[in-house]
Structure 1
Amino acid sequence: MPDEQKELFLLDANIIIHAHDYYYHMERVPEFWRWLEFHAGNGSICMPLEIIDEIKGGTKAQHANWAKSRDIRDLLVLQEEFDVDLLNRVLDGGYGPDLDEIELEKVGKDPFLIAYGLRDPVNRVVVSNEIPKPSARRKNRKVPDVCADMGVRCCNVYELLRSLDFRTNWRDSI
């Protein structure tokens, strides 16, 4: 019997930003950040390089410093080159053909994230906190809507927490 491949959760930058800013501040819930590191280390969670570079913050932004520190970056960054053909499929099919430079800037790096998910739509899940807005067009499309159109599974942070069973005593169960 062949080995069954496990799910790989591809995190959008907003997962890190929102976790720190709203509900899992690094100083209040350090277990969450160790849990992310654990799952990054075991290959269940990662971020494409293009997406991790979207995490912004000032010199005191702990989440940005955490994500960009060498040790975490080595664990968290997906070790793959992006596929230009998949990226173009996402841009054309998910946002619209012939996007101009202003539209491409507005779309940002989201198409990279979705293209990495499209590489293996059975085993990869894009994780984003964006709220679906099916009526949005072109540059204003949301990650969950584009994922749905492209056949890529997508979930939010709470579904990720359920799937990988986050709890503050998560170490007791490994």
Structure 2
Amino acid sequence: MHLIDANVLITAHNLYYPINRVPEFWSWLVHMGQKNRIKMPIEILEEIAEKSPIGQWLKEGDNAASLRLDEEVDPHLVQKVIDAYAPDLNDAEIIEIGRDPFLIAYVMADTSTRKVVTVEVSKPSKKRANRHIPDVCKDLKVPCCDSFQMLSTLNFSTAWQSSLGE
């Protein structure tokens, strides 16, 4: 299961697959969510729901429900992730990190079947709250990939519905 960061949808809409121009991508996301291949933790969905037009798209039909990962996060795993950024973060730094520790913690709960998906790239020189998701994942031995790797793995095509006979 691929657990996607908010930046995956934001970047897809802004750069590659605008909702109104490539609806096939967005219907594919919902389909993959229904098949439990792609999910978003509630913390990430809440973050992106505030951003339009993706927030508007999430409100349509079963879009948000199809993508939502229905489980509770383990607070001990969230703390372990936060400690991987730095064990002594102050309140401002924790705010700066945002909800990324939740995303990583959900994957930590089952690294054999889950993977973090983000558009962030590794930047090992970044420290503390500025660390990037791939570097934190690497330190914690959490599987991580970018959105194009996910699309390849899940065999996305704008003609995906025709292969299903839909």
TM-score normalised over the length of structure 2: 0.94
Structure 2 unaligned blocks of 5 or more: none
Match of 2:102 among 109, 112, 120: 112
Runs of 5+ unmatched residues, structure 1: 1-7
Residue by residue, what CA displacement relative to the aligned partner does 1:20-67 show, whole Å, maximum 9, x if unpaired? 11110011110000100100001100000001111132xxx2212112
Distance 1:70 1:82 in 2: 26
Q: Is 1:28 the counterpart of 2:15 in the alignment?
A: no
Q: Tell me if 1:167 matches 2:157.
A: yes
Aligned to 1:152: 142
Q: Which runs of 4+ in 1 moved over 4 A?
A: none
Give the % identical residues. Answer: 45
Aligned pairs for 1:133-152 (under 5 A) are: 133-152=123-142
- DSSP 3-state at the match of 2:125: coil
| 1:79 maps to 2:70 | yes
Q: Which among 41, 52, 63 is matched to residue 45 of structure 2? A: 52
Structure 1 SS opposite 2:2: strand
Q: Given residue 86 of structure 1, which amino acid in structure 2 is its aligned partner?
A: L
Aligned length: 163
Q: Distance in 2 between matches of 1:75 and 1:157?
A: 19
Within the candidate set 9, 12, 16, 1:16 is matched to: 9
| Matching residue of 1:89 | 80
Q: Is the 8 A contact 1:10 1:126 kept in 2?
A: yes
Q: Provide the aligned C-alpha RMSD in A.
A: 1.1
Q: Which residue of 1 aligns with 2:55?
A: 64
Q: Tell me the amino acid that sits aligned with residue 17 of structure 2.
A: Y
Deviations 1:54-95 (A, max 9, x none): 1132xxx22121124462111111001010011111111x20
